[in-house]
Amino acid sequence: MNTTPRLRIRRATLAVTAAALLPLSLAACSSDSDNSASDSSSSAAKKPSPEKSSDSSMTMDKPFGSACSTVPKSGAGSFNGMAKDPVATAASNNPDLSTLVTAVKKAGLVDTLNSAKNITVFAPTNEAFAKIPKADLDNVLSDKAQLTKILTYHVVGEKVMPKQLAKGSFDTLEKSKLTTSGSGTSYKVNDSAKIVCGNVPTANATVHIIDTVLMPKS
Protein backbone atom coordinates (compact mmCIF):
# COMPACT_ATOMS: atom_id res chain seq x y z
CA MET A 1 0.00 0.00 0.00
CA ASN A 2 2.82 2.46 0.86
CA THR A 3 5.05 1.51 -2.12
CA THR A 4 2.94 3.07 -4.83
CA PRO A 5 2.66 6.53 -3.26
CA ARG A 6 6.40 6.56 -2.63
CA LEU A 7 7.13 5.66 -6.25
CA ARG A 8 4.79 8.37 -7.37
CA ILE A 9 6.50 10.88 -5.14
CA ARG A 10 9.95 9.81 -6.36
CA ARG A 11 8.89 10.03 -10.00
CA ALA A 12 7.36 13.42 -9.45
CA THR A 13 10.54 14.61 -7.78
CA LEU A 14 12.66 13.35 -10.66
CA ALA A 15 10.38 15.02 -13.18
CA VAL A 16 10.56 18.34 -11.34
CA THR A 17 14.34 18.09 -11.10
CA ALA A 18 14.66 17.28 -14.81
CA ALA A 19 12.36 20.14 -15.70
CA ALA A 20 14.45 22.49 -13.60
CA LEU A 21 17.75 21.33 -15.07
CA LEU A 22 16.66 21.30 -18.72
CA PRO A 23 16.49 25.11 -19.19
CA LEU A 24 19.88 25.46 -17.51
CA SER A 25 21.36 22.91 -19.89
CA LEU A 26 19.80 24.56 -22.91
CA ALA A 27 20.99 27.96 -21.75
CA ALA A 28 24.53 26.64 -21.37
CA CYS A 29 24.44 25.15 -24.87
CA SER A 30 23.03 28.35 -26.27
CA SER A 31 25.68 30.37 -24.46
CA ASP A 32 28.45 28.16 -25.81
CA SER A 33 27.03 28.46 -29.33
CA ASP A 34 26.71 32.22 -29.03
CA ASN A 35 30.24 32.51 -27.66
CA SER A 36 31.51 30.34 -30.48
CA ALA A 37 29.72 32.46 -33.08
CA SER A 38 30.90 35.61 -31.35
CA ASP A 39 34.47 34.35 -31.26
CA SER A 40 34.24 33.37 -34.91
CA SER A 41 32.80 36.75 -35.82
CA SER A 42 35.43 38.52 -33.74
CA SER A 43 38.16 36.46 -35.34
CA ALA A 44 36.85 37.30 -38.79
CA ALA A 45 36.71 40.96 -37.86
CA LYS A 46 40.27 40.91 -36.59
CA LYS A 47 41.53 39.08 -39.68
CA PRO A 48 43.08 41.70 -41.95
CA SER A 49 41.38 42.08 -45.30
CA PRO A 50 43.62 41.68 -48.32
CA GLU A 51 45.04 44.98 -49.44
CA LYS A 52 44.02 46.27 -52.82
CA SER A 53 46.90 46.23 -55.21
CA SER A 54 47.94 49.74 -56.04
CA ASP A 55 49.93 49.38 -59.22
CA SER A 56 51.42 52.86 -59.31
CA SER A 57 53.90 51.82 -61.96
CA MET A 58 51.02 51.13 -64.36
CA THR A 59 51.19 48.53 -67.06
CA MET A 60 51.05 51.27 -69.71
CA ASP A 61 49.45 48.91 -72.22
CA LYS A 62 46.77 51.48 -73.05
CA PRO A 63 46.77 55.11 -74.22
CA PHE A 64 47.79 57.56 -71.52
CA GLY A 65 47.96 61.31 -71.05
CA SER A 66 45.76 64.32 -70.37
CA ALA A 67 44.64 64.81 -73.97
CA CYS A 68 43.40 61.24 -74.36
CA SER A 69 40.07 62.35 -72.91
CA THR A 70 39.44 64.49 -76.01
CA VAL A 71 39.68 61.51 -78.37
CA PRO A 72 36.22 60.47 -79.65
CA LYS A 73 34.70 57.59 -77.71
CA SER A 74 33.43 55.81 -80.81
CA GLY A 75 33.78 55.84 -84.56
CA ALA A 76 36.81 55.90 -86.86
CA GLY A 77 38.56 58.59 -84.77
CA SER A 78 38.29 56.66 -81.50
CA PHE A 79 41.10 54.50 -80.14
CA ASN A 80 39.36 51.35 -81.38
CA GLY A 81 38.70 52.94 -84.76
CA MET A 82 42.28 54.17 -85.21
CA ALA A 83 43.62 50.72 -84.32
CA LYS A 84 41.94 49.31 -87.45
CA ASP A 85 43.55 51.71 -89.95
CA PRO A 86 47.15 52.37 -91.04
CA VAL A 87 48.66 55.42 -89.38
CA ALA A 88 48.09 58.16 -91.98
CA THR A 89 44.48 57.07 -92.47
CA ALA A 90 43.96 56.76 -88.71
CA ALA A 91 45.32 60.27 -88.17
CA SER A 92 42.95 61.66 -90.79
CA ASN A 93 40.04 60.47 -88.64
CA ASN A 94 41.28 62.34 -85.57
CA PRO A 95 40.11 66.00 -85.67
CA ASP A 96 43.06 67.14 -83.51
CA LEU A 97 45.54 65.96 -86.15
CA SER A 98 44.04 67.62 -89.24
CA THR A 99 46.97 70.03 -89.80
CA LEU A 100 49.43 67.13 -89.58
CA VAL A 101 47.41 65.18 -92.11
CA THR A 102 47.40 68.17 -94.48
CA ALA A 103 51.19 68.40 -94.15
CA VAL A 104 51.62 64.65 -94.76
CA LYS A 105 49.53 64.89 -97.94
CA LYS A 106 51.49 67.92 -99.21
CA ALA A 107 54.74 66.02 -98.63
CA GLY A 108 53.40 62.97 -100.45
CA LEU A 109 54.03 60.72 -97.44
CA VAL A 110 50.61 59.07 -97.06
CA ASP A 111 51.54 55.84 -98.85
CA THR A 112 54.99 55.76 -97.23
CA LEU A 113 53.52 55.92 -93.73
CA ASN A 114 50.59 53.62 -94.42
CA SER A 115 52.79 50.88 -95.90
CA ALA A 116 55.50 50.98 -93.20
CA LYS A 117 55.61 48.28 -90.52
CA ASN A 118 55.92 48.72 -86.75
CA ILE A 119 56.88 52.38 -86.82
CA THR A 120 56.32 55.08 -84.20
CA VAL A 121 54.95 58.50 -85.06
CA PHE A 122 55.30 61.48 -82.76
CA ALA A 123 52.24 63.35 -84.02
CA PRO A 124 51.91 67.11 -83.39
CA THR A 125 48.41 68.39 -82.66
CA ASN A 126 46.77 71.31 -84.46
CA GLU A 127 47.72 73.49 -81.48
CA ALA A 128 51.34 72.43 -81.90
CA PHE A 129 51.35 73.70 -85.49
CA ALA A 130 49.55 76.86 -84.35
CA LYS A 131 52.62 77.74 -82.24
CA ILE A 132 54.55 78.31 -85.46
CA PRO A 133 54.05 81.81 -86.91
CA LYS A 134 51.64 81.58 -89.82
CA ALA A 135 54.09 82.98 -92.36
CA ASP A 136 56.73 80.43 -91.35
CA LEU A 137 54.23 77.58 -91.41
CA ASP A 138 52.99 78.60 -94.87
CA ASN A 139 56.58 78.66 -96.13
CA VAL A 140 57.25 75.17 -94.75
CA LEU A 141 54.04 73.77 -96.19
CA SER A 142 54.97 75.12 -99.62
CA ASP A 143 58.51 73.69 -99.50
CA LYS A 144 58.13 69.96 -100.08
CA ALA A 145 61.76 69.09 -99.33
CA GLN A 146 61.80 70.98 -96.05
CA LEU A 147 58.36 69.69 -95.10
CA THR A 148 59.43 66.12 -95.78
CA LYS A 149 62.54 66.60 -93.66
CA ILE A 150 60.49 67.89 -90.70
CA LEU A 151 57.77 65.25 -90.95
CA THR A 152 60.16 62.29 -91.26
CA TYR A 153 61.97 63.59 -88.19
CA HIS A 154 58.77 62.73 -86.29
CA VAL A 155 58.91 59.09 -87.38
CA VAL A 156 60.99 56.34 -85.77
CA GLY A 157 61.50 53.10 -87.67
CA GLU A 158 60.63 50.88 -84.71
CA LYS A 159 57.85 50.45 -82.18
CA VAL A 160 58.66 52.63 -79.17
CA MET A 161 56.97 51.22 -76.07
CA PRO A 162 56.04 53.46 -73.12
CA LYS A 163 58.75 51.93 -70.92
CA GLN A 164 61.35 53.02 -73.50
CA LEU A 165 60.33 56.67 -73.19
CA ALA A 166 61.92 57.16 -69.76
CA LYS A 167 65.38 57.59 -71.22
CA GLY A 168 65.34 56.97 -74.93
CA SER A 169 67.34 57.85 -78.01
CA PHE A 170 65.94 56.83 -81.39
CA ASP A 171 66.92 57.06 -85.04
CA THR A 172 64.32 58.84 -87.14
CA LEU A 173 63.47 58.36 -90.81
CA GLU A 174 65.05 61.79 -91.36
CA LYS A 175 68.38 60.10 -90.43
CA SER A 176 69.02 61.94 -87.17
CA LYS A 177 68.13 61.20 -83.57
CA LEU A 178 65.43 62.35 -81.17
CA THR A 179 65.44 61.76 -77.43
CA THR A 180 62.74 61.11 -74.86
CA SER A 181 62.69 61.46 -71.08
CA GLY A 182 60.28 61.33 -68.16
CA SER A 183 58.42 58.85 -65.97
CA GLY A 184 54.94 57.60 -65.07
CA THR A 185 52.63 59.25 -67.58
CA SER A 186 54.71 62.40 -68.07
CA TYR A 187 57.19 62.37 -70.94
CA LYS A 188 58.98 64.86 -73.16
CA VAL A 189 60.56 64.59 -76.58
CA ASN A 190 63.81 66.53 -77.09
CA ASP A 191 63.08 68.26 -73.76
CA SER A 192 60.62 70.52 -75.56
CA ALA A 193 57.52 68.65 -76.69
CA LYS A 194 55.21 66.99 -74.19
CA ILE A 195 53.46 63.72 -74.96
CA VAL A 196 49.82 64.62 -74.31
CA CYS A 197 48.35 61.29 -75.38
CA GLY A 198 50.76 58.41 -75.72
CA ASN A 199 50.66 54.80 -76.85
CA VAL A 200 47.81 55.18 -79.33
CA PRO A 201 47.65 52.07 -81.53
CA THR A 202 47.06 52.01 -85.27
CA ALA A 203 47.17 49.05 -87.63
CA ASN A 204 50.86 49.52 -88.44
CA ALA A 205 52.20 52.08 -85.96
CA THR A 206 52.23 53.41 -82.43
CA VAL A 207 51.35 57.09 -82.12
CA HIS A 208 52.50 59.44 -79.39
CA ILE A 209 50.60 62.72 -79.75
CA ILE A 210 52.74 65.75 -78.83
CA ASP A 211 52.08 69.45 -78.18
CA THR A 212 55.01 70.93 -80.13
CA VAL A 213 56.38 70.43 -83.64
CA LEU A 214 59.87 68.91 -83.55
CA MET A 215 62.59 70.51 -85.66
CA PRO A 216 65.64 68.57 -86.88
CA LYS A 217 68.93 70.17 -85.93
CA SER A 218 70.29 70.33 -89.45
The CATH number for 83's domain is 2.30.180.10
17 lies in the same domain as 75: no
Contact present, 151 and 103 (Cβ < 8 Å): yes
82 lies in the same domain as 187: yes
Asked whether residue 38 is assigned to any structural domain, the reply reads no
DSSP state, 121? E
What is the structure's pLDDT at 40?
Answer: 45
How far apart CA 100 and CA 92 sit, in angstroms, is 9
| Amino acid in position 202 | T
What is the structure's pLDDT at 57?
Answer: 42
Asked whether residue 101 is assigned to any structural domain, the reply reads yes
How far apart CA 2 and CA 185 sit, in angstroms, is 102
Asked whether residue 28 is assigned to any structural domain, the reply reads yes
What is the structure's pLDDT at 133?
Answer: 96
DSSP state, 96? G
* Position 25 confidence tier, pLDDT thresholds 50, 70, 90: very low
pTM of the model: 0.73
107 lies in the same domain as 200: yes
State which of 22-36, 56-70, 77-91 shows the largest mean pLDDT: 77-91
22 lies in the same domain as 72: no
Average pLDDT value for residue range 5-32: 45
- Containing structural domain, residue 131: 66-210
* Position 60 confidence tier, pLDDT thresholds 50, 70, 90: low
How far apart CA 68 and CA 72 sit, in angstroms, is 9
Asked whether residue 82 is assigned to any structural domain, the reply reads yes
Instruction: Give the CA distances from residue 118 to residues 15, 76, 205, 206, in Å, rounded to whole numbers and listed in that order.
Output: 93, 20, 5, 7
How far apart CA 211 and CA 128 sit, in angstroms, is 5
Q: Beta strand 155-156 with 177-183: parallel, antiparallel or unpaired?
A: unpaired
The number of domains in the chain is 2
172 lies in the same domain as 91: yes
